[in-house]
Amino acid sequence: FRLARRSIGSAARRVPLAFAFDIDGVLIRGPEVIPAAQRALRFLDGHNPLRAKIPFIQITNGGGELESVKVQKLSKQLDFPIYEEQFVQSHTVLRKLVAEYSNKPVLVLGGKGDTGRRIAQHYGFKDVYIPLDVLAWQPSVWPLGAEFISPSDLNIARRADFSRTPIEAVFVLHDPRPSWFLEIQVVTDILRSQYLTAAAPPPKLVFCNPDLLWRGQFPKSRLGQGGFREALMGVYRALEGKEYPYKMFGKPTRETYDFAKNLLRAQLGSDLTHTRIYMVGDNPESDIAGANAAGWHSALVRTGVYDPAHGKPAHEPTFEAEDVDEAVLEAFKREC
Ligand code: G3P
Ligand code: MG
């Protein structure tokens, strides 16, 4: 397919090397493109001593949009074509749960407005609710909500009676908005069966991104979905005096890296035994930990979350580099 033509080129120029790039803090920081990113992508696109096209994928704990929208925006921002076939984001692997939950009522969080609902429906979930639907059902669920949510915001709400709609799974796709308060109120209500007239089993709770911190445009790392998880779990613990079990996807989980390996296999058209894969990331907890567990090499860059001034990284990379361009050159030197 089109990606293979671009990425692999003729087999004669194949090199036993492939890359997995993290995005935030490696290629971009919010709206800013990190200059080294464009140099690195050009190098992989044939502008290297072997004149070889070196395959790569992106694995991000970001999300909140359809993959097709994300790659379009990223291609424009990087001024370099990125394809869905080489792109994994936090909730991409949620598709694994469609077989079990496609016809069951699920609640999804994250994404602007009802984007979360549209993403879940695109994956194949058919009975999808969002916290705004609960507010439309009973505005008093959030006593101060009227100050923050206008009646027009509720136009996207799906009408339902949550006293008779047992939610069977809660999927936190991306960092919730408009305000954590509504999401924490609704999710803890659902985990504690505060709406139902008839008893129902507690729902499955799934987070898609463990990152407590990530690197945007602000010079200090920002709270990610891991911040929301700590807040939500802390409120539940305060209410119930116990932990609520949850499933995690995203980097560094095996599910996400297995999905990424399949993307690389499809791109290379072969298994990965003779290919040395280098993950380039800025977050030791997600990028380096996940790559090391996946049996890949890892390069930790200093353009994002990781700051050497704060001591050694929690997970040892194969090597450290100033930025993604230096990381690609170092891996190329080692392997080619
Ligand atoms: O929400 C995005 C953030 O968690 C990190 O994204 O690209 O560094 O995995 P990334
Ligand atoms: Mg990152």
Q: How far is the CA of 223 from the centre of ligand 1 (A)?
A: 10
Ligand 1 atom nearest to CA at 63:
1
Beta strand ranges found along the chain (DSSP E): 17-21, 28-29, 32-33, 56-59, 87-88, 106-109, 128-129, 169-172, 204-207, 213-214, 222-223, 247-248, 276-281, 297-301, 319-321
The model's pTM: 0.95
Please report the pLDDT score of residue 7 as a whole number: 45
Structure-derived torsion over alpha carbons of residues 261, 266, 271, 272, reported in degrees to the nearest 10: -40
**CA proximity to 228, closest of 182, 191, 190:** 182
Task: Report how far ligand 2's centroid is from the alpha carbon of 80 (Å).
Answer: 19
CA distance 108 to 118: 10
Query: Which among 32, 286, 298, 306 is the best mutation to test ligand 1's pocket, defined by most ligand atoms within 8 Å of the CB?
Result: 286
Q: What is the pLDDT of residue 265?
A: 94
CA of 111 from ligand 2 middle (Å) equals: 19
What's the ipTM? 0.98
Distance 219 CA to ligand 2 centre (A): 14
Residue type, 141: V
| CA-CA-CA-CA dihedral for 261, 263, 269, 275, to nearest 10 | -40
Give yes or no for a contact between 258 and 59, defined as CB atoms under 8 angstroms apart: no
pLDDT at residue 182, rounded to an integer: 95
Residue with tokens 């790392």: 221
Continuous segment of H or E residues that includes residue 257: helix 254-268
Consecutive 10-residue averages of pLDDT for the chain (336 residues): 45 76 98 98 96 96 98 98 97 98 98 96 98 96 92 93 98 90 97 96 98 97 97 98 98 98 92 93 98 98 97 98 98 95
User: DSSP characters for 23-55?
Assistant: -BTTTEETTEEPHHHHHHHHHHBT-STT-PBPP
Residue 251 CA: nearest ligand 1 atom is 9
Out of 89, 214, 230, 253, mutate this one to test ligand 1's pocket (max ligand atoms within 8 Å of CB): namely 214
Task: Calculate how far, in angstroms, residue 136's C-alpha sits from the geometric centre of ligand 2.
Answer: 36
- Quick one: which atom of ligand 1 is closest to the CA of 305? 8
With a CB cutoff of 8 Å and minimum separation 6, the contacts of 151 are none
Ligand 1 pocket, residues with Cβ under 6 angstroms: 22-25, 60-62, 209, 211, 214, 224, 283
